[in-house]
Chain A
Amino acid sequence: MIAEIGLAALWLAAALAVLQMVSGAFALKAAEGEVNPLAIYARPAAVVQAFLAVLAFALLLWAFAITDLSIKLVASNSHSMKPLVYKLTGTWGNHEGSMLLWVGVLAASGGLLAAFERRLPERTMGATLAVQGFVALGFYAFLLLSSNPFERLPVPAMEGTGLNPLLQDIGLAIHPPTLYAGYVGLSVAFSLAMGALLTNQVNPAFARVLRPWVLGAWVLLTFGIAAGSYWAYYELGWGGWWFWDPVENASLMPWLAATALMHSVSVLAARDALRTWTIMLGVLAFSMSMLGTFLVRSGVLTSVHAFAVDPERGAFILVLLLLYIGGAFTIFALRAGAVAEGKRFSFSSREGALVFNNVMLSAILAIVLLGTLYPLVTEAFDVRVSVGPPYFNPASAIFAVPMFLVMAVGPLLRWKEDKPARIQFEMLMLAAVLIAVIAVTAMVGDYPFLPLLGLGLAAALALASFLPLRGRKLARVPLATWGMVLAHFGVAVSLFGMACEGAFSQERLAAVAPGGTEQVGDFSFTLQSVTPVAGPNWTALEARIAVSRDGGEPVILVPQARNFWSPQQSTSESALLTRWDGQLYAVLGNQAADGRWQIRMWWKPFVTFIWYGALLISLGGILAIVGRVRVDVKRRHASEVGEERRADLAALGAAAPVPAE
């Protein structure tokens, strides 16, 4: 019954999406200040739809939890012997399940928007909900017509075929849901942007409604990308943390667009400038999430993420992609001219710096996008290429370096207009730090150029991120400003980790006989033994390696070479030793003919700072959301109190006082 209820819930939700779309569209027909009688269904439809879609996902979770092998999806992706937590995470470790998760999150955020957002005019809200319903409808159609997660098998399977072992990891529990929630949060930003554009309401009030959604989506994307990067780092056993893999790029591109959007929304909210630019970024950010979904889900890429190698599905998503993006840009082109010019500002102002970095982010986005699509394009002409770090690193650095420089001084500038001479002391100080760090490091050793530059920039940025607090009473600094400081500092921390990893990593690859000792960096490691071990659904060879730093107390590391038996696959489980100043990374390889074991060890100084930095960035984003929402709630409460007081006065017949702005 579970499957049938789930499927019914999905069909009902799809029907409600139609209602939401139509009813929302009627809101556009209403005159200013009036409510169209047919427009009142959009909000309830969105809320009930959210409930149904989440219910469908919960039912699929349940089916995976009890391993209901009469459902095709469960039978082909799960196994009764799997640990319960991986049964649950396996729900979204496949194409259909992950699309259902996507739709569930989409509907849930639409429901939240419909239930709680009361600040926008009804017409704008109607248009927004109509667009949201339209987007949701496409994905319901995709699920129901080409990837039904609840399909039954004619005869229940005896046993499931299991889940790709690489995906049997706690990283999978975190990475996809957060990333999806981020992608989908951008869909709300997109709907709001379209709603505001259609009803000509692109103004600071709209920006304040949009901002928490963009911030939330951006925090989730940041966190999801960081989790994915850490997962790839320890699970793939290659020692790298970012491979410029198309799938990674697919998550990076929406993040770049969302970062630009978040800053431009702030300008719109605070200064009423960058109106059309904000709308365009809203469309762009969601287009990038859609493109990411297309790249990952259509099977045009071969990767651990590409569950569905089915041309029909690829074509379906491509059609959706073209429909949404094409439609959005058409509306944008038709309506953008009607958006009135915002407030002006000079180039040397905080707005100017933000615009500059917006453009830099867009340029990096273009670099990543072209590099990601290029192999797909050439393959159409039967030329097989792959594009990797030799392209992405220098090409993106050309735009990232000026961006970091402007990011250091931007927050020190005043809104609207400022003289650069006013902050010349700060600029000189930051330049001195930048040059000093690069010079000192270059004197100590011979390091590659980009990591060297990264170290200098990280130091300057770390200092610069706290400068906006100078001369202010710390207790009175708004929470949102703290968020900015923390996030900018997090960027510096991440950059520091990346640069250190690039410049100072040490590697040792050796064949070691049991009892043999080798050296990497300050560490000496001794292979004690290699023994077979067994887990719930795998067997493995496990090495015991005693590691000691500068002759200190030895620590045991146990890297494994695992063999899963359902499905048949081997993976390499690296072992990590985390110290405050870096990580030791050990991988066990094959046995050579003479009985020695291949062992690969890396000492990666400060590599963990990459992810600490990402956590700081996310935390900064969360602080900003909390700060903004608190101010909004306060403002709403204050205006309610004011209304009451005025009503009281009016009832007393006294002359109403003029409210102080």
Chain B
Amino acid sequence: MKAKHQRLILVVIALVAIIGAGLLAAWSLRNQANYFYLPEQMAATPPEVGQAVRLGGMVQAGSIKTEADGVTVNFMVTGNTADAIPVRYSGILPDLFVENSGVVAEGSLGPNGVFMATNLLAKHDENYVPKELEGMGTQQAAKMAADTTVGLD
């Protein structure tokens, strides 16, 4: 094998691997990226059952109910319309998780239409706010731009 050839083959192998990685990344990002939904979007075009997504909105007043085990809470998340999505979460609540305040729930939609949250992000402190909740006051309804679309397509 000529020296030039070997260098060429190496470059080709490296390129193939990197491009392969890129394609793989592009393909799985489309499938695995965690999209952000507002309640009304989730009501209109629900994501597939079990697909990891995030739901952001306001915790509806009077909707927080703790179950008898003391660690599972159920509450409703509302957005700009009357649509409300029931959320179920087992775990330690963030400190600033209160009614009428913003929350982002990570998790997936269950078969019964209840959003099963695995993690809740609430406003943490002045400096560390989940990006989706930036600029959201407590009285203000979930005034996140309606053009935060659901999917890429």
Contacts and interface: CB of A to CB of B under 8 A. Distances in A.
B128 A567 contact: no
Contacts of B4: 341
A527 to B, nearest CB: 12
B61 interface: no
B127 interface: yes
Given A378-B152, A391-B28, A510 B34 contact: no
A598 B70 contact: yes
B46 interface: no
A419 B29 CA distance: 40
Interface residues of A, number: 50
Contacts of A509: 71, 90-92
B71 A511 contact: yes
Nearest to A600: B92
B37 to A, nearest CB: 9
B71 A510 contact: yes
A469 B17 CA distance: 32
A363 B17 contact: yes
A302 B131 CA distance: 6
B10 A355 contact: yes
A639 interface: no
Contacts of A600: 91-92
B49 to A, nearest CB: 15
Interface string B32-69: 11111000000000000000101000000000001001
B21 A399 contact: yes
A564 to B, nearest CB: 9
B34 A594 contact: no
A346 to B, nearest CB: 9
Interface in B98-153: 124-132, 134, 145, 147-149, 151-152
A384 B152 contact: no
A558 B108 CA distance: 34
Interface centre among B22, B33, B149, B151 (most CB of A within 10 A): B33
B17 A362 contact: yes
A263 B18 CA distance: 18
A360 B17 contact: yes
B35 A384 contact: yes
A366 interface: yes
B108 to A, nearest CB: 10
Contacts of B33: 374-375, 378, 385-387, 391
B18 A363 contact: yes
Contact of B25 (A384, A390, A395, A568): A395
Contacts of A451: none
Nearest to A309: B127
Given A384-B35, A509-B90, A367 B24 contact: yes
Contacts of B92: 509, 572, 587, 589-590, 598, 600
Q: Kindly name the residue among B13, B29, B134, B151 whose own CB sees the greatest number of chain A CB atoms within 10 A.
A: B29
10 contacts: A164-B127, A341-B7, A367-B21, A383-B152, A384-B36, A384-B132, A385-B34, A385-B36, A386-B36, A510-B70
Interface of B: 1, 3-4, 6-7, 10, 13-14, 17-18, 20-22, 24-26, 28-29, 32-36, 52, 54, 66, 69-71, 90-93, 95, 124-132, 134, 145, 147-149, 151-152
Given A341-B7, A362-B17, A362-B21, 19 more contacts: A341-B3, A341-B4, A360-B17, A363-B20, A364-B21, A366-B25, A374-B29, A383-B149, A384-B35, A385-B35, A387-B32, A391-B29, A391-B32, A394-B28, A510-B70, A568-B125, A568-B126, A572-B92, A590-B93
Interface of A: 164, 277, 302-304, 341, 344, 355, 359-360, 362-364, 366-367, 370-371, 374-375, 378, 382-388, 390-391, 394-395, 398-399, 509-511, 567-570, 572, 587, 589-590, 592-594, 596, 598, 600
- Kindly list the 3 A-B residue pairs having the minimum CB-CB distance in the complex, ordered from nearest: A511-B70, A589-B92, A363-B21
